């Protein structure tokens, strides 16, 4: 069957000798149908829902209506007026920023500590990678048990601090947990970046009398730019999509102070207000696009400057 497909594509090509250049040959050697299943699944289950997401927020789709009618900006007005829109945007951006900061900070420090390729270091790299392997939901429960007012941290310290009960600091704490969970992945990528630095470059810096700090800021850090691009982008974008850790530690509380987009959507969807959840989903999409595009362009440009 595959042969017939190829032949039908080959026939016109060989029949037209004047265009026997690159394109027709490519069509024979690397036929489109190899890519079509992937394109179909991706379009059908990723792009189409995202396109639908530009329509349903403007309807009254919910479990309370039998049919779906166009209602204009009603849903956006609702989420703007009850304050949840601004709160979700602010909470998610703050979360993403802090989570990316902690994840990259922890990862970079670990990479620098474990840079040399010794048996000791290899063992501890695996140890620090362990949290990546544990599901984010499980991670959340572990830290809930640690940070609960009746939990392990308070019992060790002999304190009675409501770690997960502060409307200001709990968000920061949850982002530290997020950074903890993913630091192993950042560490590996920074390690690869460090490994890619030519040895003679470090040697030259040493000969010129540069100390460890100077070498770091003048050689290592600039040479790490591609790793920084990758890590910062994936950490920022990934943490805007966060759900599990927040759900397992605070569930969005206290007083909705950790209610990021996905927690809101989950809650509102559970109440049957589908269109309203979809509206929030559209806002998330737009926020991610508005941040991702300048971020990638900016970081790429930075790579070239350094």
Partner 1 sequence: MTPVVWRYGRPALVVLLAGLAVGVPLWLVLVTSAKPQAEAIKPNLDVPGHWQPGSNYQDAVSQGEMLRGFLNSLLVVVPSVVLVLILGAGAAWVFARRRSRLVSAAYALCISGLLLPPAVITIVMELRQLGLAGTRPGMIAVYTGMYLSTSIFFMTGFIRAIPMELEEAARMDGAKPPRIFLRIILPLLRPVIATATIMVMLYAWSDIFYAFFVLGGGERATLPLNLYKVASAQLYLNNWHLVFAYVVVMSLPMVAVFLVAQRKIVSGITSGAVK
Under a CB-based contact definition with an 8 Å cutoff, are residues 58 and 70 in contact? yes
Nearer to partner 1, 43 or 168 (CB): 43
Angle, CA of 280, 284 and 288, to the nearest 5°: 170
Nearer to partner 1, 61 or 256 (CB): 61
| Phi, psi dihedrals of residue 59, rounded to the nearest 5° | -125, 180
- Nearest CA among 172, 169, 167, 173 for reference residue 144: 173
Nearer to partner 1, 168 or 209 (CB): 209
Nearer to partner 1, 3 or 168 (CB): 3
Residue 15 beta carbon to partner 1: minimum distance, rounded to whole angstroms: 19
Nearer to partner 1, 61 or 170 (CB): 61
Residue 77 beta carbon to partner 1: minimum distance, rounded to whole angstroms: 18
Q: Which DSSP string corresponds to 99-126?
A: HHHHHHHHHHHHHHHT-S--HHHHHHHH
Residue 210 beta carbon to partner 1: minimum distance, rounded to whole angstroms: 13
Distance between CA atoms of residues 305 and 253, nearest Å: 43
- Nearest CA among 189, 179, 177, 185 for reference residue 126: 185
Nearer to partner 1, 17 or 211 (CB): 211
CA distances from 23 to 12, 13, 16, 33, 170 (A): 13, 9, 12, 15, 58
Residue 1 beta carbon to partner 1: minimum distance, rounded to whole angstroms: 10
Residue 93 beta carbon to partner 1: minimum distance, rounded to whole angstroms: 14
Residue 55 beta carbon to partner 1: minimum distance, rounded to whole angstroms: 8
Report DSSP state, residue 211. -
Tokens found for residue 61: 């789709």
């Amino acid at each position: 069957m595959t042969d017939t497909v190829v032949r039908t594509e080959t026939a016109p090509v060989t029949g037209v000798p004047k265009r026997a250049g690159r394109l027709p040959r490519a069509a024979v050697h690397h036929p489109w149908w190899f890519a079509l299943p992937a394109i179909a699944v991706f379009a059908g289950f990723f792009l189409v829902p995202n396109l639908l997401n530009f329509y349903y927020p403007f309807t009254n789709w919910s479990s309370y209506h039998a049919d779906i009618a166009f209602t204009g900006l009603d849903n956006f007005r609702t989420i703007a007026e009850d304050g949840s829109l601004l709160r979700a945007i602010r909470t998610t951006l703050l979360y993403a920023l802090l989570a990316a900061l902690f994840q990259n900070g922890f990862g970079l420090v670990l990479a620098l500590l474990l840079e040399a390729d010794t048996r000791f270091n290899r063992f501890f790299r695996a140890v620090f990678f362990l949290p990546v392997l544990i599901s984010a939901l499980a991670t959340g429960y572990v830290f809930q048990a640690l940070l609960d007012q009746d939990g392990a941290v308070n019992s060790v310290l002999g304190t009675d601090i409501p770690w997960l009960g502060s409307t200001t600091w709990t968000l920061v704490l949850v982002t530290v947990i997020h950074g903890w969970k993913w630091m192993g992945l950042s560490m590996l990528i920074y390690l690869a970046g460090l490994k890619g630095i030519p040895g003679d470059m470090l040697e030259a810096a040493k000969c010129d009398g540069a100390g460890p700090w100077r070498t770091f800021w003048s050689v290592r850090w600039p040479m790490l730019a591609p790793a920084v691009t990758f890590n910062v982008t994936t950490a920022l974008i990934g943490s805007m999509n966060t759900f599990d850790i927040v759900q397992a530690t605070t569930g969005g509380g206290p007083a909705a102070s950790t209610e990021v987009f996905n927690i809101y959507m989950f809650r509102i969807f559970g109440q049957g207000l589908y269109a309203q959840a979809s509206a929030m989903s559209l806002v998330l999409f737009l926020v991610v696009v508005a941040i991702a595009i300048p971020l990638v362009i900016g970081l790429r440009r930075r790579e070239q400057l350094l």
